[in-house]
Structures are given as C-alpha cells and as structure tokens.
Copies of this chain bind each other. A is one copy, B any other.
Amino acid sequence: MAATVYLVGAGPGAPDLITLRAARLIESADIVFYDALVHADIVAMATRAEKVAIGKRCGTHSTAQRFINKRLVDAAATHARVVRLKGGDPMLFGRAQEEIDALRSAGIAVEIIPGVTAAQAASADLGIALTRRGVSRSVAFATPRVGRGEQPSDWAACLAHADTAVLYMAAHEASDAAAKLLSLGRPARWPVAIVESASLGGPRRYATLEELARDGLSACSGPTLLMFGEVFRAALDRARHHRGKPHDRGAPAVQASR
C-alpha cells in the first residue's frame, strides 16, 4: 500500500488556529495519532478515522518515542492516510525528526504540515510583536529540557544574545533559567512575560528577570512560556502601575495581570 504519513501541526491550542491544509487532512484521515496537548475539538474533526492517543504531556522518553515511531510505521502498512497530530509546529520542539527518519528508513512517504507555535499565539494574545523596529530584530526559541542521555547544549547563551527570547517547557525551572540569564549578563530589570495556555485565554503575568530568579513561578496548570525582552517593557510598566501603591513593592512581583 502506498501510504503517506502526514506530520501535522495542531497549532497552539485554539481549534481554529490550525491551517486549512491541516483541517482537510484530519477530515480525510484513516487513522489519527494525537498528543495529549491537542485540543479535543481538533481530534473530533477526524470523523472517518480511528483515533489513537499517544505522547505524554511533559516530554516523551526515548523508549516511548521508539514505540511511537513503530506505531506510525505499522499504521502505514494498514492505512493509506495516516495523520500524526503534534501540538504547535511539528518541527519546533516536537521530536519530529525521529519520526521522519524512522518512516523514511521504512520506505514510507512523509509530508509535514507546519503549524502556529505557542510563542506566536502568545505574542498575538498579548498584542506585543516579537520584533519591533529599533527594539528587536532577533528572536530566539529554546528549551532547557534535556532528553535522557543527552548533553545539555547552551540554550541560555542563545537566549541571552537575542533581543526577544522565548523559553518553552521551563515553568518548573523558571527560577534557575532566570538566574542563568542573569549570570550571562542580562539586566536585572529585563522584562519577562509569562503566558500560560496561549490562545486559550490562560493567565498572563509580567515580572523582571531578577524577580523571576528570586520567586520562580507558582504552579501553572497549562503549558507555559517564559518570554523575555524589551518589547515587553511597556506592558510590564503598565502591570506595575495598575498594581499600585509603593508599599506593594514587597509583595510577590510575579502576579497575574488578569
């Protein structure tokens, strides 16, 4: 059977932020494999398909990834149109290459459909562009998460040299991440925007780098982005202003802005 496996970006969360091409492929799929973060309404669009939940919420271990690779290869032997739905953009922090390589090694055709990634949705939510004339013309995305058996690369140096920097999957190590950026010379007052469940109306907070290093983050219920850069300065100042009086300064600085 000449099957094709489609690695499809499910976008940042909101079901109408998938692409037209993604929607058509999901609707016509014979089998759909989906990650935990893909919205139920997107999975429900696969009216013809067998639906299989795979993937964990917080990263996937190597063993699990090899199992997923095998499931996709096996599905291509029995289904003509296989859709693998991945939250966000499959090519950013999605371990897509391991799936592509496994499928190609097995002689199976693969197509990739890009998707809007969380940082783009967060920027839209906030109404703050990631680039801005005279302020930012470089943007970096990174994650501090290290896979099992993997050497940590220097994600922090990349972010420290970017005008606007976004850290994925870092809520549990927000304080350490901020401390690392401070140690690399980023200013104590570097503005930070913290966006949870981008495109789904999650809370947004602002802080300075120093405050984030000191206080970390309280529990986040959805996927959370840490965004750094001067582009967030005016929003940080507004959040401060609304928070009000001078004696508030001793209060936890990382606060909800709505």
Contact = CB atoms under 8 A, between A and B. Distances in A.
Contacts of A11: 19
A245 interface: no
A243 B182 CA distance: 47
A29 interface: no
Interface centre among A91, A120, A162, A163 (most CB of B within 10 A): A91
Interface residues of A, number: 68
B162 A132 contact: no
* Integer count of this chain's copies in the complex: 2
A97 interface: yes
Nearest to A112: B124
Interface in A1-46: 9, 11-12, 14-21, 23-24
Interface of A: 9, 11-12, 14-21, 23-24, 89-98, 100, 110-117, 120-121, 123-124, 127-134, 136-143, 145, 147, 150-151, 153-155, 157-163, 199, 231
